Each structure stands twice: as C-alpha cells, then as structure tokens.
Amino acid sequence: MAKVSFDELLDAGVHFGHLRRKWNPNMAPYIFMERNGIHIIDLYKTQAKLEETQKAIKQIAKSGRRILFVATKKQAKSIVADLVKKINMPYVTERWPGGMLTNFATIRKAVRKMANIDKMSTTNSWQNLSKRERLQITRERAKLEKNLGSISDMSRLPAALFVIDINKEKIAVAEARKLNIPIFAMVDTNTDPTLIDFAIPANDDASKSIYLIVNAAVQAIAEGLNERKLAKEKEDTEEEANAEVGDVDIKSKSEAIVIAEEAADKSAEKGIATTSDGKPKRKRKTIAKKN
C-alpha cells in the first residue's frame, strides 16, 4: 500500500488550518502550533491517521462492500468525481438529498423512475407523447441524472462514507451516525473530530490537499478490489482443479466396475462363483464335528 510522505503532505498544504477564532477545541490534539493567528496541523498525526484510514478502507473494499464519497463543496466536486469514477464507487458531488440513507427506499424509487424513463424512450408510446410532454420528461430525467446518476448502481446502503468537510456535509454525517455507518473524513481545525470514526486532520479547503488525501484513499480501495479479484480467480482455479480430479476418480471407478463385470461374466460362463469385484470366491472349509 502506497504511503504518503511527510514532504508530500507539506507541499500540498495539508498543514494549513483555519483562523484561531474559528477553531473547535476538540481538534486540540491534532494542532501543532499557531502562526499569524492561523492554526497549523501536526502532519505526523495526519500521516498516522491517513495510514490507519487506508488499512480500514482497503479491508472494506476487499470484502466486496461499497464506500460512498460525499463532497459537494466547489473545490472538491470535480476532484472526487474524477478519482472515484476510476474505482467504480458511488459518490455525491451535487446537493445531498435529505434522507438518502435514512429513507433509502424512496431514493431507490427515484433511481428506478430514471430507468423507467430510459426504457419508455425506446418504445412506441414515447412517440405518441406531445412535444411538450417529452420535453418535461427529458428535463426531469436530466435533473435525476444530475443528483442521483452517480449512485444509480448502489442497490443497498453503503458500508462506509468518505466525507470532505463534515461541517458542510452535516446532514450526511448525521444520517450515517444514526444508522451506525462508519465515517471516514477530512477534519479541519474548525470541525469536531469526535463525530467521525476515522478522522484525518487535514486542510479541507485547498484543492491540492483534497486531491492528495482522496487519491490515497482511492489507491487503497483499488488495492483491496485487486486482492479480492485475485483471491476469487485463485478460488475458481482450485474449484476447476478439484472438479477435474473428481472426474478422473469417477472415470477410474467406472473402468474398474466394467473390468469387474467382464471378469464376473467370464467366471459365470465357467461356472465359478465370484465376488462383487470379479474375483473368484474362496471355498468354505468344512469342519468335521467331533463326537
């Protein structure tokens, strides 16, 4: 698993926090110092927490479960969308639809509605609609695609959330906590890390900082998925090998049965009694009774 070095964190500006007057006291353990009224994050602790996050998120991906990325702030949208698409994980970069986790069944209905519109557009009934009706349905489809297109293949609740800026995504965090879904998140000096299961102290406003942290998480997930794929291939190979061995055993047993039957037939022609495997039976010894 690729580790992020101290110099990489420093170059990306991960250590820059918020103004002192905006800080959250719960972030005190992760603050190294204050300079010109701005808090500086301890990058050694960031490095340790990021490594811990990578290990945990890799195991989730290896088990075949999904991680939902949430980043609706302007500087994080395109970065998260581009990186997460590569590993085929769900993400939300537009407005967080309230009740997405706690009322997941309703969100799934909206996704199915989008699929039904796609299906209807290929039938004759689509041509029978007026131009205005088609335009309205097309606009509705575009709106659904914008808000829910990235989670259209998420058929069940995610195993974990990865959040950029927990202050902005407080509704998503609250829903995940209510359902006991683990949360991975970048926490800046103005946030409360006690709300998060795996907190990564980092600057969540700079594009370089967001890219570095999210990319490290994506690489860990990619490794987990790759290990899962290799394990599955190995399992399939072993099953095929076991099946071939079983076929050979069955074939050898059937050949032995045929040989035994032929031997039994020959012995029957000669009037010799045989056992089930074609061998001649031994004659019983007669024991004379003593007077």
pLDDT band at 28 (very low <50, low <70, confident <90, very high): very high
Four-way CATH pick for 1-98+158-224: 3.40.640.10, 3.40.50.10490, 3.90.1640.10, 3.90.1150.10: 3.40.50.10490
Domain span(s) for CATH 1.10.287 in the chain: 102-156
Domain span(s) for CATH 3.40.50.10490 in the chain: 1-98+158-224
Q: What is the mean pLDDT of residues 20-36?
A: 91
Our measurement of the distance from residue 249's CA atom to the centroid of its chain's CA atoms, rounded to an integer in Å, reads 40
What is the side-by-side strand order in the sheet with 183-187? Answer: 91-92, 67-70, 160-164, 183-187, 198-201
How far apart are alpha carbons 18 and 88 in whole angstroms? Answer: 33
What's the pLDDT tens digit per position in 264-273? 666 666 655 5
* Six token digits for residue 38: 């701005």
What's the pLDDT tens digit per position in 158-197? 999 999 999 999 999 999 999 999 999 999 999 999 999 9
| Enclosing H/E stretch for 62 | helix 43-62
Q: What is the pLDDT of residue 242?
A: 74
In this prediction the pTM is: 0.77
| Enclosing H/E stretch for 218 | helix 207-270
Q: What is the mean pLDDT of residues 32-43?
A: 91
CATH for 102-156 is: 1.10.287
Q: Which of 71, 98, 102, 97 is nearest to 84 (CA)?
A: 71
Q: What is the pLDDT of residue 48?
A: 94
Strand duo 91-92 + 67-70: pairing: parallel
Q: What is the mean pLDDT of residues 38-60?
A: 93
Q: What is the pLDDT of residue 252?
A: 67
* Six token digits for residue 51: 């490594």
